[in-house]
Amino acid sequence: MSSDQHCETVRRYWAAAEARDWESFAATLSPDVVYRCPQTREVVRGLDAYLRFNREYPGDWHLDIDRVLGDEEGAMSRTTFTVGGEEMTGLCLFRMDAEGRIVAVEDWWPAPYERPAGRAHLSELQD
Amino acid sequence: MSSDQHCETVRRYWAAAEARDWESFAATLSPDVVYRCPQTREVVRGLDAYLRFNREYPGDWHLDIDRVLGDEEGAMSRTTFTVGGEEMTGLCLFRMDAEGRIVAVEDWWPAPYERPAGRAHLSELQD
């Protein structure tokens, strides 16, 4: 499987999630898929548990794919999630199995923080 | 410029940063490079300011490149930064100019947070 194919799989994964088309979503995944959110230490193991995690995820969320990048092992996406009026950037790394199905998802949700005091002379702040 | 070339440029960028070889570091960058840290809203514009931002960045930090992925526009890296005994994951998106030099850096530093209460029945927690 090529980097381009991995990127295409990730685009199908997100399009299916946005459409709540859980059959198409499942078709992008390995039965042994493992999801990790390193920031919360959450782990979800296996296709059934991962489908449930996504189906039952609260809120009327919507997503736009900003960018998808690939390598030999899988792909990475930058997405913008909108829930209510709030926007968040999601950064997600994927690894694929030999058949090109997603077997590992690493999910990151960076939140705002204050600029460290020691950097005030080195950067400006955007409005 | 190809995706593979963009990935190679990002590997040279990080190797030069780790070596504090600011001449090699500068060689990967456009004179018009713009750095953004969306979490703090920091912006650093231009090669001189960006070199200074990196040279004067406090702490005896070290980095390992975990993964580099590419697309037609640039590349993305996952790195592990170590400062003292503390490890952090950095996620960085790059865009290149027509000559393949880095012209935009988008830098993310996701910090730990508590698992939302509504997800306790959907995921396990790793030790």
The answer to whether residue B16 sits within a structural domain is yes
* Residue to test with chain B: of A5, A42, A87, A115, most B Cβ within 10 A: A42
The model's pTM is 0.96
Closest residue on chain B to A125 (Cα): B42
- Asked if B32 reaches chain A (Cβ–Cβ under 8 Å), the answer is no
The predicted pLDDT at position B112 comes to 93
User: What pLDDT digit, counting tens, does each position of A74-126 carry?
Assistant: 999 999 999 988 999 999 999 999 999 999 999 999 999 999 888 889 999 99
Domain that holds residue A58: 3-112
B121 located within any domain: no
Residue among A53, A69, A118 minimizing CB distance to B69: A69
Complex ipTM, two decimals?
0.94
Does residue A24 sit within a domain?
yes
Q: Does A86 touch chain B (CB under 8 A)?
A: no
Q: Is residue B125 part of a domain?
A: no
Is B34 contained in some domain?
yes
Residue in A70, A71, A125 nearest the CB of B42: A125
CATH number, residue A66: 3.10.450.50
Instruction: Give CA–CA dist B98/B18, Å, rounded.
Output: 26
As a three-state string, the secondary structure of B79-94 is EEEEECCEEEEEEEEE
Distance from CA of A5 to the nearest CA of B (A): 12
What chain A residue is nearest to B34 in terms of C-alpha separation? Answer: A123
CB B10 within 8 A of CB B68: yes
**For chain B, how many structural domains are there in total?**
1
Q: Which residues of A15-45 are buried (b: 16+ CB within 10 A; e: fewer)?
A: ebbeeeeeeebbebbbeebbbbbebbebebe
**Helical segments of chain B, H only:** 3-18, 22-27, 47-55
> Which whole-number Å values give the CA distances from A101 to A16, A25, B34, B38, B78, in the listed order?
14, 11, 36, 32, 21
> Quick check: is A39 in a domain?
yes
pLDDT digits (tens, 9 = 90+) for A38-59: 999 999 999 999 999 999 887 8
B67 within some domain: yes
- Chain-chain contact of A56 with B122 (C-beta, under 8 angstroms): yes
The answer to the question of residue B73 being in a domain is: yes
Judged by CB atoms closer than 8 Å, whether chains meet at A70 and B67 is answered as: no
Query: In a structure prediction context, what are the per-residue pLDDT tens digits for chain B, which is 127 residues long?
Result: 899 999 999 999 999 999 999 999 999 999 999 999 999 999 999 999 999 999 988 788 999 999 999 999 999 999 999 998 899 999 999 999 999 999 999 999 999 999 988 888 999 999 7
